[in-house]
Amino acid sequence: MKDLENGKMSGHSNWPEWVYVGVVIALLCYVGAEAWNIERIVEHVPADAEVIQVIGQQWLWTFEHEDGTKEIGELHVEKGKAYKFEITSKDVIHSFNIHDYVVLLDAVPGKINTVWFSPTDAGEFPIQCREYCGLIHYNMRATLIVEDKGA
Amino acid sequence: MKAIIGLGLVLGLLVILPAAQYVLAAGDEAGEYLDRRVEIWGLFYRLMIVAFTIGTVVSGTIVWLVLRFRESNPKAKPTEYEGSGEW
């Protein structure tokens, strides 16, 4: 070919390819760093968070507060306070989900998984198992009841 | 030499990065109050912007390549191999 001189194409440039590669690598680095940072922020539990033990079993949720109060199928919490869930299971793997507060974590037998949240709105919110756990999985539900302070 | 670099990469991915993640990301110091919804959905929307940007760049490049180097493009020149007429 006429353009081929000394093994190189005259007038040929690779820079668009390097820009392309650079942009994609930079964006992927941003994705990794950003996701890592948010995970780090979200996982740090405030010092004054109240611990609530969450136990999943076919097919209901049981909650135990720090003062020993137990609830089945309902969880009462206070608006604006931080709560740390210690989630486990008695039988098979379940998944504890409060959709409205973006809380989602597996309940695994013999293991305690932790996640924390702080409710910002009073009201009732559904809690649902998100890991297929048997015949009545679809109805393994509970209700999160967020109350105003002093209510 | 290549084997050492490869081993280093594998160790880095399997051991060092998860260890650094455990120490730095899930440390013992107390966190601040925050709204998970804001943080997590905010992250989702930012990552969607990146995903669509990369998707646009990649698919745009493919479309441009196909149109620019199609056989019927008047600007298209045969490669050295094609130009020689030896198939």
Tens of pLDDT along A123-140? 999 999 999 999 999 999
Mean of the per-residue pLDDT values for chain A? 90
Residue given tokens 């005259």 in the structure block: A10
In what side-by-side order are the strands of the sheet with A103-107?
Answer: A74-78, A141-147, A123-129, A94-98, A103-107
pLDDT one digit per residue (tens) for chain B, 87 residues:
788 888 888 877 787 777 776 666 655 667 788 889 999 999 999 999 989 988 998 899 899 999 998 888 888 877 777 667 665
In the prediction, which pLDDT does B24 show? 65
CB spacing of B31 vs A24 below 8 angstroms? no
Q: In angstroms, what separates the C-alpha of B1 from chain A's closest C-alpha?
A: 26
Q: Find out whether A119 and A101 touch, Cβ atoms under 8 Å.
A: yes
In the prediction, which pLDDT does A10 show? 52
In the prediction, which pLDDT does A133 show? 95
Q: Is residue B17 less than 8 Å (CB to CB) from chain A? A: no
- The type of residue at B67 is L
Residues A16 and A58 in one domain: no
Rounded mean pLDDT, A44-67:
95
Nearest alpha-carbon partner for A71 in A109, A113, A127, A116: A127
In the prediction, which pLDDT does A20 show? 83
Q: Find out whether A107 and A56 touch, Cβ atoms under 8 Å.
A: yes
Residues A66 and A102 in one domain: yes
A144 three-state secondary structure: strand
Q: Tell me which residue range forms the domain holding A120.
A: 50-147
Residues A74 and A107 in one domain: yes
CATH number at residue A119: 2.60.40.420
Question: Which among A20, A102, A116 has CB closest to B57?
Answer: A20
Residues A58 and A37 in one domain: no
- Distance between the two ends of chain B, CA-based, in angstroms? 42
The domain locations on chain B are 2-26+35-73
E-only strand ranges, A69-108: 70-72, 74-78, 83-89, 94-98, 103-107
Question: Which among A31, A42, A118 has CB closest to B47?
Answer: A31
Residues A37 and A96 in one domain: no
- pTM > 0.90: yes or no: no
Name chain B contacts of A102, Cβ cutoff 8 Å. 36-37, 40-41
Rg (CA), chain B: 25
- The type of residue at B78 is P
- Rounded CA separation A79/A119 (Å): 5
Residues A10 and A29 in one domain: yes
